[in-house]
Structures are given as structure tokens and as C-alpha cells.
């Protein structure tokens, strides 16, 4: 799917088209169900790196199939340039790789509750960089909706992380190897999301092509890390598909489909709205846990539910209106 104009798929009224709603709902369901699917069909012995690499391969395959279906492969092959690819996809992919490394450092030095709460600041930074790079402004009501969304995300994080809390007890280590890395990672996440939106909406870069390019760059970075990582050692010792069963492909393929949907939602609706999808997915996870595992939603989840619904409603109902002098 190639975006034709910045925000072309989002009318001036701020209302999203049925197609964008469809992609957003699918992504919400995928994000929400992914933890349960992974837990049920992935054995503990499975090496994380092998699972991620196969997922990236599946993303590339899905994107190529979709490009072949819409007839864009030949045109993209003629228009593709290395510099354009590096600008549109290489930079965000490198940023995401650095972000993931910082998150791993932070997660080891923060309790789960603090980590989850600080990680939600990426919603704010996405909105900030979207304004800086794309000049996409938020109305006062939309700004309030974003703060409601962040509050809901924090509540959901408290419900998820309170039972897993643990602390190193060293203030300097917590600050420099915990708080600082996760905040920098949130800034990088917002920047990468805004860059992806810029590439798709301004540079007219196909979201499918971006998925292929970013998957390839990400896979190369991951392969390079296996030379010294514990996962690399495990692969050399036990084999790439150690612990795999045919059912392991279910969460891998589901995650790959989610990657395609992320590209579509970011391209058509923007990184800020993708943030709404991700927070909404936390509620879906809680609901599915109740339905399939009998685990009732926490009080935090019940309080967060109306906040998420209100924030989505306000954000859609009160878009920023361009003044006549600005138009």
C-alpha cells in the first residue's frame, strides 16, 4: 500500500476510513493475542534469536506476496535505489536495533513496574517527533487524550508489573543503567516511528517495501550479534531449530502478520494512532487471559478501560483544525 499524500487516508475531519479501522482492529487483536499464543505454542527451549530471524523471514515473504498481488513489485524494482532505501528504512531499522539494546540493558537493572511505566513515555515522544518532522499538530483535546492514554498505559503496566517487582538497590546503577537507557529508548522509539511515517507519507515509500528493507537490516544486525551473544553460542551448540515443533510456527507467523499491520497502520494512520492500538491491545490481552486462563482482570485494568475508550473517542472527535492563514 503506497501512501499518496501526507495523511491522505485521514480526512480533514480526523475520522479514519473503514480500511484503517479494519487494519487497526486486526493489529489490536494480534498484539493482544500474541503473548498468549507465544506462551502456548513456544517451548522454553526455543532460542529467541532463531524465532526472531524466522519471523523476519516470514515478514519478508508476506510483504513480497502482497506486493505481487497488488502488482507493485515491477514498478518498485525500477524505482528502488540504495540511498532511498537507507534513508527511508535503514535509519529507522538502525534506531530500532539500538532501542532494543537499550531496553535489554534497562530491563536488567529496573524492576518490572518502573520499567513498564517509563517505557510508556514513547507515546509522548512519538507525538513530539511527529510534530517536529511532519508538522502534524495536535489539538488541545487531542493532547489531553494522549495524557489519558499514557495514564491508562501506566495503570495497565502497574497491574502487569506489580507482581514481578524487584530492585537492585543501587541508586547509581538504577539511574545510569536503568532509568536513562529506557528514557533514551523511548525517545528513539518516537523518532523511529515518526521517520517511518515520514517515509511512507512524504517520500511515498511503500509500507510493504519498508517492511522488507527493515526486516533485512534488522536480521543482519541480529546475525552480527550472534558472534558473541549467548543465543549465538546456544545455536552453535544445539542447532538453529533447537526446541522447535510445527506449532512454533503459529506465533512466528502471527508476529510476522503483526509486523505487516504495524507498517500499514503507521503508513495510513500515523505513529500516534499506532500508540492507541498498542495500549488497547493490553486490554485485549487481559480479556483473553480471563476467557482462556480464568485470570480475572486487575482493578488497574478495569480503571484503565474507560480511560482508553475516552482517549480514543476524544482524539477522533476533536482533531486539530487548520486555520485559514495556515491553510
Task: Tell me: pLDDT of 292 over 80.
Answer: yes
Q: pLDDT band at 73, cuts 50/70/90?
A: confident
pLDDT tens column, 21-39: 999 999 999 988 988 898 8
Would 322 be classed as within a structural domain? no
Residues of the chain above pLDDT 90, percent: 31
- Report the domain count for the chain: 1
Cell of 247: 506449532
Evaluate if residue 3 carries a pLDDT over 60: no
Q: What is the pTM of this model?
A: 0.79
Q: Categorize the per-residue pLDDT at 302 as very low, low, confident or very high, splitting at 50, 70 and 90.
A: confident
DSSP annotation of 270 reads -
| More confident site: 113 or 14 | 113
- Report the chain's mean pLDDT, rounded to a whole number: 84
**Structural domain contains residue 224:** yes
The pLDDT value recorded for residue 120 is 79
- Residue 201 inside a domain? The answer is yes
- 3-state SS of 75-135 is HHHHHCCHHHHHHHHHHHHHHHHHHHHHHHHHHHHCCHHHHHHHHCCHHHHHHHHHHHHHC
> Are 138 and 131 within 8 A, CB to CB?
yes
Give Cα separations from 111 to 96, 144, 190 (angstroms): 23, 29, 23
Residue 83: per-residue pLDDT? 83
Q: Would you state the pLDDT for residue 248?
A: 93
Task: Please report which confidence band the pLDDT of residue 175 belongs to, taking 50, 70 and 90 as the band edges.
Answer: confident
Q: Judge whether 179 lies within some domain.
A: yes
Tens-place pLDDT, residues 118-147: 787 888 899 999 999 998 888 999 999 999
Asked if residue 91 lies in contact with residue 85, where contact means CB atoms within 8 angstroms, the answer is no
- CA 113 from centre of chain: 20
Instruction: Check pLDDT > 60 for residue 265.
Output: yes
Q: Residue 102: pLDDT above 90?
A: no
Does any domain span residue 76? yes
Can you tell me the distance from the alpha carbon of 221 to that of 249, in angstroms, rounded to the nearest whole number? Answer: 22
Distance of alpha carbon 283 from alpha carbon 305, whole angstroms: 7
Would you state the pLDDT for residue 121? 85
**Nearest Cα to 270, choosing from 91, 63, 31, 7?**
7
Q: What is the mean pLDDT of residues 254-268?
A: 91
Q: Note the helical H segments in the chain.
A: 18-41, 48-70, 73-79, 82-85, 91-109, 112-119, 122-134, 140-161, 171-174, 180-201, 207-225, 230-238, 249-268, 271-293, 299-317
Distances in Å between the Cα of 61 and the Cα atoms of 70, 104, 247, 254 are: 14, 28, 19, 13
Residue recorded with cell 510508556 = 120
Domain of residue 300 covers 18-317
Amino acid at each position: 500500500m503506497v501512501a499518496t499524500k501526507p495523511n491522505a487516508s485521514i480526512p480533514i475531519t480526523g475520522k479514519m476510513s473503514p480500511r484503517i479501522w479494519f487494519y487497526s482492529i486486526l493489529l489490536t487483536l494480534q498484539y493482544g493475542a500474541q503473548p498468549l499464543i507465544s506462551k502456548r505454542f513456544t517451548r522454553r527451549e526455543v532460542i529467541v534469536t532463531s524465532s526472531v530471524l524466522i519471523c523476519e523471514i516470514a515478514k519478508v515473504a508476506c510483504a513480497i506476496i502482497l506486493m505481487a498481488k497488488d502488482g507493485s513489485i515491477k514498478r518498485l524494482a525500477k524505482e528502488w535505489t540504495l540511498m532511498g532505501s537507507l534513508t527511508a528504512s535503514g535509519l529507522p531499522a538502525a534506531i530500532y536495533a539500538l532501542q532494543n539494546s537499550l531496553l535489554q540493558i534497562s530491563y536488567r537493572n529496573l524492576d518490572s513496574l518502573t520499567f513498564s511505566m517509563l517505557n510508556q513515555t514513547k507515546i509522548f515522544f512519538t507525538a513530539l517527533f511527529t510534530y517536529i518532522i511532519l508538522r502534524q499538530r495536535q489539538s488541545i483535546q487531542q493532547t489531553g487524550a494522549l495524557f489519558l492514554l499514557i495514564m491508562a498505559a501506566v495503570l495497565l503496566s502497574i497491574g502487569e508489573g506489580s507482581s514481578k517487582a524487584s530492585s537492585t538497590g543501587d541508586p547509581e546503577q538504577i539511574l545510569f543503567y536503568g532509568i536513562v537507557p529506557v528514557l533514551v529508548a523511548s525517545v528513539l522509539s518516537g523518532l523511529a516511528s515518526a521517520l517511518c511515517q515520514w517515509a511512507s507519507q512524504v517520500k511515498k515509500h511503500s509500507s510493504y517495501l519498508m517492511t522488507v528493507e527493515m526486516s533485512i537490516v534488522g536480521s543482519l544486525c541480529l546475525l552480527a550479534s550472534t558472534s558473541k551473544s549467548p543465543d549465538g553460542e546456544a545455536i552453535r551448540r544445539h542447532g538453529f531449530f533447537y526446541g522447535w515443533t510445527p506449532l512454533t510456527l503459529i506465533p512466528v507467523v502471527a508476529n510476522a502478520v503483526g509486523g505487516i499491520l504495524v507498517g500499514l497502520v503507521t503508513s495510513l494512520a500515523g505513529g500516534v494512532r499506532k500508540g492507541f492500538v498498542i495500549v488497547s491491545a493490553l486490554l485485549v490481552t487481559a480479556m483473553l487471559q480471563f476467557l482462556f486462563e480464568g485470570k480475572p482482570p486487575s482493578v488497574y485494568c478495569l480503571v484503565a478501560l474507560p480511560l482508553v475508550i475516552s482517549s480514543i473517542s476524544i482524539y477522533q472527535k476533536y482533531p486539530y483544525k487548520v486555520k485559514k492563514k495556515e491553510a
